[in-house]
């Protein structure tokens, strides 16, 4: 049995049993990218998905619907993936959901306004090691390279609070994400994709604060797996580290193949 009050290690007896009982022919498989399919690196432009992981994803994509739901812009994510998943949703859920194109244009307009405001409020941001990334439907303010990351973080939080119209701020690892109110988050994106594909179940693997939007859904038909067993999270299960993603892919390919064979 899965313990809902804390994460169960996926490769424990209880975790394996839960996974075996969960995966069937109607399961959608969804993954975050950075920190999940690829290790976090200092320069996000240099992220690398290993050939082993890419091969498994391609194989799984032939067996079942696969979705990548990432904070990156879709075009950026596509460059690193090296294959075409059935669904690729960018900007933490705000970009690439079928039927939401008009709404997306409005998010992009709002982000351009915030970017202009940020340039006025923080004219020396780049000299402080802060990089403003406009990803289209959301903004990411990176401070990994700031000489004093704590001071940069405080300045960003204070500046973001002055932006108009108000927004949703999602802190990440050396990054503050700015998301328009009303933009679908990763949890909403996953539910829409389940409806779209007709999949009654979804397995989602992620590692970061924005993935909690999936983990916090109280839905027995979604199995949330977090990369990293430390720290607070509402995920059902966890992995020790990012390298175990290969074992997860092997296991779900095996289970999916078995359930197909038993048709
Ligand atoms: Mg991540």
User: What integer pLDDT is reported at residue 263 of this predicted model?
Assistant: 55
The runs of H, that is alpha helices, within 177-221 are 186-197, 212-215
End residue of a domain, out of 163, 180, 197: 180
The alpha carbon of 172 and the centre of ligand 1 are apart by a number of angstroms equal to 9
The alpha carbon of 54 and the centre of ligand 1 are apart by a number of angstroms equal to 17
The alpha carbon of 51 and the centre of ligand 1 are apart by a number of angstroms equal to 19
Kindly state whether residues 114 and 244 are assigned to the same domain.
no
Kindly state whether residues 49 and 62 are assigned to the same domain.
yes
The alpha carbon of 7 and the centre of ligand 1 are apart by a number of angstroms equal to 18
Identify the CATH number of the domain in which residue 155 sits. 3.30.70.1020
The alpha carbon of 69 and the centre of ligand 1 are apart by a number of angstroms equal to 9
Kindly state whether residues 257 and 234 are assigned to the same domain.
yes
The alpha carbon of 124 and the centre of ligand 1 are apart by a number of angstroms equal to 28
Say if 146 falls within a structural domain.
Answer: yes
Maximum Cα–Cα distance across the chain: 62
Say if 222 falls within a structural domain.
Answer: yes
End residue of a domain, out of 160, 180, 200: 180
Kindly state whether residues 49 and 78 are assigned to the same domain.
yes
Residues in the chain: 263
End residue of a domain, out of 128, 145, 180: 180
Q: Which residues pair with 176 in a beta bridge?
A: 141, 171
Angle at 34 between CA 49 and CA 116, to 5 degrees: 130
User: What integer pLDDT is reported at residue 243 of this predicted model?
Assistant: 97
User: What integer pLDDT is reported at residue 173 of this predicted model?
Assistant: 81
Domain containing 73 equals: 8-85+184-261
User: What integer pLDDT is reported at residue 259 of this predicted model?
Assistant: 80
User: What integer pLDDT is reported at residue 5 of this predicted model?
Assistant: 56
The alpha carbon of 177 and the centre of ligand 1 are apart by a number of angstroms equal to 13
Four-residue CA torsion sign, 162, 168, 171, 174: negative
Kindly state whether residues 199 and 77 are assigned to the same domain.
yes
User: What integer pLDDT is reported at residue 2 of this predicted model?
Assistant: 53
The alpha carbon of 207 and the centre of ligand 1 are apart by a number of angstroms equal to 5
The alpha carbon of 35 and the centre of ligand 1 are apart by a number of angstroms equal to 5
User: What integer pLDDT is reported at residue 44 of this predicted model?
Assistant: 84
Identify the CATH number of the domain in which residue 231 sits. 3.40.50.1000
Kindly state whether residues 147 and 200 are assigned to the same domain.
no
Looking at the structure of the chain, the number of domains it has is 2
The alpha carbon of 262 and the centre of ligand 1 are apart by a number of angstroms equal to 34
The alpha carbon of 32 and the centre of ligand 1 are apart by a number of angstroms equal to 6
37-96 pLDDT, tens digit each: 999 988 888 999 999 999 999 999 999 999 999 999 999 999 999 999 999 999 999 999
Q: Mark the ranges of the chain whose per-residue pLDDT is less than 70.
A: 1-5, 260, 262-263
Distance CA 259, CA 36 (A): 25
User: What integer pLDDT is reported at residue 198 of this predicted model?
Assistant: 97
């Amino acid at each position: 049995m899965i313990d809902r009050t804390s994460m169960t290690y996926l490769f424990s007896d209880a975790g394996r049993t839960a996974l075996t009982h969960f995966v069937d022919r109607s399961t959608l498989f969804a993954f975050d990218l950075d920190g999940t399919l690829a290790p976090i690196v200092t320069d996000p432009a240099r992220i690398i998905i290993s050939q082993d992981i890419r091969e498994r994803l391609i194989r799984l994509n032939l067996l079942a619907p696969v979705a990548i739901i990432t904070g990156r812009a879709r075009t950026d994510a596509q460059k690193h993936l090296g294959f075409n998943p059935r669904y690729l949703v960018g900007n933490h859920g705000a970009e690439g959901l079928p039927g939401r194109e008009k709404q997306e244009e409005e998010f992009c307009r709002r982000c351009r306004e915030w970017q202009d405001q940020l340039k006025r409020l923080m004219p020396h941001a780049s000299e402080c090691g802060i990089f403003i990334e406009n990803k289209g439907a959301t903004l990411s303010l990176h401070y990994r390279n700031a000489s004093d990351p704590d001071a940069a973080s405080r300045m960003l939080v204070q500046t973001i609070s002055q932006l108009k119209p108000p927004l949703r701020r999602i802190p990440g690892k050396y990054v503050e994400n700015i998301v328009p109110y009303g933009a679908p988050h990763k949890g909403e994106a996953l539910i829409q994709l389940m409806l779209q594909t007709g999949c009654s179940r979804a397995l989602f693997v992620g590692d970061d604060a924005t993935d909690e939007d999936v983990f916090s859904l109280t839905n027995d038909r979604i199995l949330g797996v977090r990369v990293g067993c430390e720290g607070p999270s509402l995920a059902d299960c966890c992995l020790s580290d990012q390298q175990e993603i290969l074992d997860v892919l092997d296991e779900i390919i095996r289970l999916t193949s078995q359930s197909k064979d038993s048709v």
